[in-house]
Structure 1
Amino acid sequence: MNPERKFDLEERLVNFAADIVFFCRDMPSDMTGHYYGNQLLRSGGSSALNFGEAQGANSDKDYINKVSITLKELKESRVNLKILDRVNYGDSSMRNKLLNEVEQLVRIIATIIKNKKQGQDTL
């Protein structure tokens, strides 16, 4: 994998996490906003942090494990955003932007995991 490509993906994940912060910061301060906002902050931020940790993995197995956690957190963020979309909660244009980005990130990370696992099979 091209090192520049990893950096671009890391930047996308960092930008996604930052956009989550801005989205959550502007959510209403009611029970729904606190519950889903706190959960979304954790999963959105964790996806970037775990991908960063994967960059220092000691083995392919360790890398796959850490990137799989990134995927898990992105999927959690996606479901959270879908719930918020269903109830039309928070800024709709930002929510739609986040939903689009999380869909793309899920596909990218899933492909990375698949390709890395296939590479292990040939070793």
Structure 2
Amino acid sequence: MANYISIQERTELFAVRVVKAYVELNKKHFDDASKVLSKQFLRAGTSIGANCAEAEFAQSNKDFISKYSIALKEASECRYWIRILINSGVVSDQRFEPMLSELNSIIKILVSSINKLKQKESSPA
């Protein structure tokens, strides 16, 4: 039987990876562009889990969907920043590919969860 990990735990672990990558990036790159890109990456990557954590105590289904939708937007933005970091040569593709893969899994889970909740909300009681 596979171990189940909640989206909250998964996004928290992802945020820790983002923080560690950010620290590593800032040790190696001192130019303004790299600093700005890495800060955007840090902000978006840690915001995913923060919004999932907020959803845990949502006041309603609508509020829950809203928090997950924000987390999804942040995940999409984080993916964008990772691609920019890779394509601009700031980081290696091999170094960030596992993180990108995990991010894509998180995005799929969030999309699926949001869609299920919306269906549940729109179906008659």
Q: Would you call these one fold, judging by a TM-score over 0.5?
A: yes
Match for residue 15 of structure 1? 13
- Encode CA deviations 1:55-112: one digit per residue, 9 max, x unaligned: 1001100000011000010000000011111122225433111111111111110110
Matches within 5 A, 1:1-123: 8-27=6-25, 28-123=29-124
Post-superposition, which runs of at least 4 consecutive aligned residues in structure 1 deviate over 3 A? 91-94
1:12–1:94 CA distance, 2 compared to 1 (3 A): farther
Q: TM-score, normalised by structure 1?
A: 0.89
1:11–1:94 CA distance, 2 compared to 1 (3 A): farther
Contact preservation (8 Å) 2:55, 2:64: yes
Distance 2:9 2:94 in 1: 21
Letter of the structure 1 residue corresponding to residue 54 of structure 2? E
Q: Name stretches of at least 5 consecutive residues in structure 2 with no aligned partner.
A: none
Of all paired residues, the percent bearing the same amino acid is: 29
Q: TM-score, normalised by structure 2?
A: 0.88
The CA RMSD over aligned residues, in Å, is 1.6
Contact preservation (8 Å) 2:8, 2:52: yes
Q: Name stretches of at least 5 consecutive residues in structure 1 with no aligned partner.
A: none
Contact preservation (8 Å) 1:23, 1:94: no
- What is the CA distance between 1:41 and its match in structure 2? 0.8
